[in-house]
Each structure stands twice: as C-alpha cells, then as structure tokens.
Amino acid sequence: MVGDGNPGYWNAREVLGRRAAGPVLALDVAKGAAAAAVGWAVGGRRWWPAVVGGGAAMVGHAFPPTRRRGGMAVATFVGTAVVASPRTAAVALGIGAAAWATTQSFERAVQVGVATYPVVQLVVDGVRRTAATGALMTFVGVRFATRPADATTEAVRHSVAPA
C-alpha cells in the first residue's frame, strides 16, 4: 500500500509530489464534472439532475466497489460544482485563486474557495441550489469526520478539512 491507500489527489500528492499529482487532481475534478454533465443533459438541462449525477460520482469516489478505501470527494465535488452552478463556481474559483496568490498555499486556496462557494451561491442561485450544495458539502464533511484517526490526522495536517 502506498500512502493511505487511496488513489486520489491528496494521497498522490503526498507520495509523488504536487506537480506529478496534477493529472490525478484533473481526473478527480473531471469525474465530478462528467457525472454532473450527464445528469444535466439527461435531466432536461436543469440544475438538480446535475447535482444528483455529481453526488453519485462523489459517493462512488468515496466508496469504490473495487477497493477498500475511497477518497474524500473534495475534487469530485469541485467538478460537480462547476457544472451545477458555473457562475458561482467561477466566482469561488476566482476567490480561491486570489487566496493562492496571497498565501502561496494550494490547501488554503481550496479551503477559501470551498468555504465561499455556498455564500456566493446563495446570492447567485438562491436557497434551493445552495441547500443541494450543502448536502454535497455535508457528505464531504462526514467523510472527514468518519475517517480513521491516522488518516484524519494526515488530512487535517494538510489543511484540507473544513474549518
């Protein structure tokens, strides 16, 4: 087993380094975006089927049928968010990019971008979409809260857990 056994971005980054793990991050984000896009297309180009499709990808990422340990689904959530609410995602990504430029910390940028997303979404998209996003974010939070102590300690040490 390498790292914590999860093939997702945060483990790949720990084992391979930030630059080498970039394609893993891109694939994790793409997984959520693709599932949300399928939901959007099949669901009549409405936002809620995109959330359902992306949520299904998040569950599959967290509880893969082919191995024991899954990921936290943060990057898969990001991909889902970009498709389910592109205007909100653009603003949150911009805020996250500003945090990265200011702090030089990718982890802090992710925290800031994800934390500001529902606030921006409430203004841009209203209560229903924000509530749906809240359900997906709660799923990620539960993943962090229920990780074994050693894995949770590692995740917190890398500042990816919700504050």
Amino acid letter for position 77: F
Instruction: Determine, yes or no, domain membership for 153.
Output: yes
Question: How many CB atoms within 10 Å of residue 54?
Answer: 33
Which tens digit of pLDDT belongs to each residue from 73-84? 999 999 999 999
Per-residue pLDDT of the chain (163 residues), as tens digits, is 566 667 678 788 888 888 889 999 999 999 999 999 999 999 999 999 999 999 999 999 999 888 777 888 999 999 999 999 999 999 999 999 999 999 999 889 989 999 999 999 999 999 999 999 999 999 999 998 988 766 544 554 554 444 4
Instruction: Determine, yes or no, domain membership for 133.
Output: yes
Instruction: Determine, yes or no, domain membership for 17.
Output: yes
Instruction: Determine, yes or no, domain membership for 1.
Output: no
Give the separation between CA 82 and CA 17, rounded to whole angstroms: 26
Radius of gyration, alpha carbons of the chain: 15
Domain of 126, in residue numbers: 9-157
Model pLDDT, residue 160: 47
* C-alpha distances out from residue 14 to 4, 92, 114, Å: 9, 25, 21
SS3 71: coil
Instruction: Determine, yes or no, domain membership for 116.
Output: yes
Instruction: Determine, yes or no, domain membership for 162.
Output: no
Instruction: Determine, yes or no, domain membership for 70.
Output: yes
Instruction: Determine, yes or no, domain membership for 107.
Output: yes
Which tens digit of pLDDT belongs to each residue from 86-101? 999 999 999 999 999 9
Model pLDDT, residue 26: 95
Model pLDDT, residue 70: 85
Q: Say how many domains are in the chain.
A: 1
* H/E stretch holding 84: helix 74-84
